[in-house]
Amino acid sequence: MLRIFAHKSKCGVPSFAIGFQLVVANLLLLTQSFEAVLEFIQFGLTLCSFFTVLGVIVLRFTKPAHPRPYRTRGYPATIFLSVTFLMMGYLLINRPVQSLAGVLVMLAGLIVDAIAQYYPAVPAAQKATTIK
């Protein structure tokens, strides 16, 4: 279902996926102000950053044998996670509609991904040999 987005050019660039993002971003910018688009994506970007850093911390506890190429002060209680958590709280209080809209878009993406994983694409060779 999402295979078209994985198609790469001869240089290895996922050109269709980038083009699709370009169209969506331009539609958002043409129909809304730049500030409105930023408000719409701000919570989602902050949430993703929060979970990315949190994931690194979780991996440090669950996979202690993996190499640690860098160190950070205050680990595991990083300042970044605290500030990001406060920013998400601020956005939820002061921009609840935009924040929840961003979360809904991310949930829609997760649903599409789950559907794509549940119904894997049938290869063309298999389609040709399947008799109905």
- Give pLDDT tens digits for 33-54: 888 888 888 999 999 999 988 8
User: Is there a domain that residue 45 lies in?
Assistant: yes
User: Is there a domain that residue 96 lies in?
Assistant: yes
Residue 73 φ then ψ, to 5°: -75, 145
Q: Is the confidence at residue 129, as pLDDT, over 90?
A: no
Spatial separation of the C-alpha atoms in residues 35 and 39, rounded to whole Å: 6
Spatial separation of the C-alpha atoms in residues 120 and 114, rounded to whole Å: 10
User: Is there a domain that residue 6 lies in?
Assistant: no
Task: Look up the domain containing 69 and give its range.
Answer: 34-119
- Within a 10 A sphere around the Cβ of 98, how many other Cβ atoms? 20
Read off the pLDDT of residues 62-84 as tens digits, 9 standing for 90 and up: 988 888 777 766 666 678 889 99
Provide the whole-model pTM. 0.68
User: Is there a domain that residue 42 lies in?
Assistant: yes
User: Is there a domain that residue 125 lies in?
Assistant: no
User: Is there a domain that residue 130 lies in?
Assistant: no
Instruction: Give exposure, 38-57, as e/b (b: 16+ Cβ within 10 Å).
Output: ebbebbbebbeebeeebeee
- Number of compact structural domains in the chain: 1
Chain centroid, CA 121 distance in Å = 22
